[in-house]
Structure 1
């Protein structure tokens, strides 16, 4: 009995998706729309899985970094952090102006250091800002074999 309880509490390990492919779409939005259509048709969507295939890590470059931009960004983020902590400290201590000024000054210094040191450490090897995304080349919709044919028939009536 104890072993059975331990197995129920154990976190589920990632497993590959199962089911029959019923449709394939170039974008996640289209795959999501297909599953939403099935749901609107009262189909048991708990039998459906959306699987991203041919995964790619995409880095989108936003712009060039300069010392001016790094310092300005550090100052702005530091001041916001300082305002937050200053107001929080003001709530605890009862006064607002003193803690707010201390928070802003401390945040400004922290923001400058936390932005400038990492940028200086790159020594010009990464003078751009970017965001990372994980995207798929296509999105397959899989369905439990017992209802896959019904789902495929329903999706054939969906015009994307």
Structure 2
């Protein structure tokens, strides 16, 4: 544990990029050049959470979301149970997958409506959340930081 703390403290930034793809590309180029990339870390800095509101959520939408969430697991579980049939595993698997899809969709829809009703109107909208960063810095162990800086500066 003490060794890991020492390594973490002896790192310094060698390059900064505006997006993750650029930072990942820089590490990939270092790797292609034989650099010991296990001594690098990509650090996202200036994180913020964004939640994009997609629309209102009523009982109908709650039922549809629950229906979609329950259908696939129901079909998968039904198919797996059907494969254990002694008569014809494939036919049984497909038949039980269809029954599982229907049952999972129905159960998911009911659960979606019940949970929406229990929320008491506190969350009557659908949204998608994401985390974004202002910049991505590449940190390197102190022993190899100068070499990484030199190689990355030659590329720019």
TM bucket (normalised to shorter chain) is 0.7 to 0.9
Unaligned stretches of 5+ in structure 1?
A: 1-6
Match of residue 4 from structure 1:
none
Deviation at 1:22, TM superposition (A): 0.8
Unaligned stretches of 5+ in structure 2?
A: none
Q: TM-score, normalised to structure 1's length?
A: 0.75
Q: TM-score, normalised to structure 2's length?
A: 0.76
Sort the Cα spacing of 1:60 and 1:18 in 2 relative to 1 into closer, same or farther, 3 A: farther
Deviation sequence 1:56-86 (CA, Å, 0-9, x none): 2232333332322221222233333332222
Deviation sequence 1:134-154 (CA, Å, 0-9, x none): 332221111112221121111
How many angstroms apart in 2 are the aligned matches of 1:140 and 1:98?
53
Deviation at 1:34, TM superposition (A): 1.2
In the alignment, is residue 28 of structure 1 matched against residue 25 of structure 2?
no
Match of residue 145 from structure 2:
148
| Deviates further, 26-35 or 126-135 | 126-135
Sort the Cα spacing of 1:147 and 1:89 in 2 relative to 1 into closer, same or farther, 3 A: closer
SS in 1 for 2:24: helix
Q: After the TM superposition, which residues 96-111 of structure 1 pair with which residues of structure 2 at under 5 Å, given as runs?
A: 96=92, 99-100=96-97, 102-111=99-108
How many angstroms apart in 2 are the aligned matches of 1:72 and 1:106?
14
Q: CA RMSD in A?
A: 2.7
Equivalent of 1:44, from 26, 32, 36? 36
Equivalent of 2:120, from 120, 123, 144? 123
SS in 2 for 1:82: helix
